Amino acid sequence: MAQGHGETAAAVHGDGIRLSGVTRRYGDVVAVAGLDLAVPRHTRLGIVGPSGCGKSTVLSMVSGLENPDEGVVEVLGDTAPAARLARCAWMPQRDLLLPWRTVLANACVSLENRGVSRREARERVRPLFARFGLAGFEDRRPYELSGGMRQRVSFLRTLVADKDVLLLDEPFGALDSITRAGVQDWLRDTLDAEPRTVVLVTHDVEEALLLSHEVVVMSSRPGRVAARLPVELPPAGSRRELLATPEFVRLRDALLAHLEG
């Protein structure tokens, strides 16, 4: 069994996300052209590529906030934008927590937005705090938390939205490297325990490999798929040991070579 991937890779079934022949233009700018991507349900796809190659555009199109000019975007069998939107939760780079709300109230926002009463939302979310390493911080304000803790609150809020599809746009870009490593390990364990269909956009090659079942490299604009790398990693005791395995080193080198190419 591949390290950190639990049984999710083996449990692939049903519909996931599919982009077929997708082109998106902004005026004269062709952001992506003829893009084909497939993310089987409950697997995790990492997307890396040069700045401006259309990575965020892909997430916007999956989420239904934007539509392709050509081609089809399908999310769990639906192509209509409103249906795609209903299936996706988006976690941005900045945690976007509301500073005037307590941490618990922030984590409840997505449930309240869906019409769940404030009281019921709190009853449902409070027990999750321990699992997210946030026990005891329920009544604090976001400014009293570290950056890593704020991102965990942000991710908790994203998860309780109970959407099958998670769109992660540089989710740890604002964190320092030590905090980032801890949150990456935590996120991988969390997603192994509670699988979702994930598209992760990142500039961090190690992050892409640690969190994804497959990584695609996009070409510079107009964005197309330049390479696909299935991620198969051996069991390893610690993150440091995993990063030193021949499999990880080979994948990282291959990814960097594609990016440089």
Ligand X SMILES: Nc1ncnc2c1ncn2[C@@H]1O[C@H](COP(=O)(O)OP(=O)(O)OP(=O)(O)O)[C@@H](O)[C@H]1O
Q: If 0-12 CB within 10 Å is exposed, 13-18 middle and 19+ buried, where does residue 12 land?
A: middle
Please identify, among the stretches 25-33, 68-76, 91-99, 117-125, the one whose residues bind ligand X according to the rule CB under 6 A.
25-33
Residue 53 lies near ligand X (rule: CB under 6 A):
yes
For residue 55, the minimal CB distance to ligand X (Å) is 4
Residue 256 lies near ligand X (rule: CB under 6 A):
no
Residue 199 lies near ligand X (rule: CB under 6 A):
no
For residue 60, the minimal CB distance to ligand X (Å) is 7
Dihedral angle over CA of 84, 88, 91, 92, nearest 10: 0
Q: Do the Cβ atoms of 223 and 55 come closer than 8 Å? A: yes
Would you state the structure tokens that stand for residue 160, as one six-digit string?
């309780």
Closer to ligand X by CB, 25 or 140: give it: 25
Residue 28 lies near ligand X (rule: CB under 6 A):
no
Closer to ligand X by CB, 41 or 55: give it: 55
| Strands 70-75 and 88-91, sheet pairing | unpaired
Exactly one of 1, 7, 11, 26 binds ligand X (CB under 6 A); which one? Answer: 26
Q: For residue 14, which of 45, 44, 41 has the smallest C-alpha distance?
A: 41
Exactly one of 22, 31, 103, 134 binds ligand X (CB under 6 A); which one? Answer: 31
Dihedral angle over CA of 16, 113, 97, 173, nearest 10: 10
- Contacting positions for ligand X (CB under 6 A): 26, 29, 31, 49, 51-57, 221
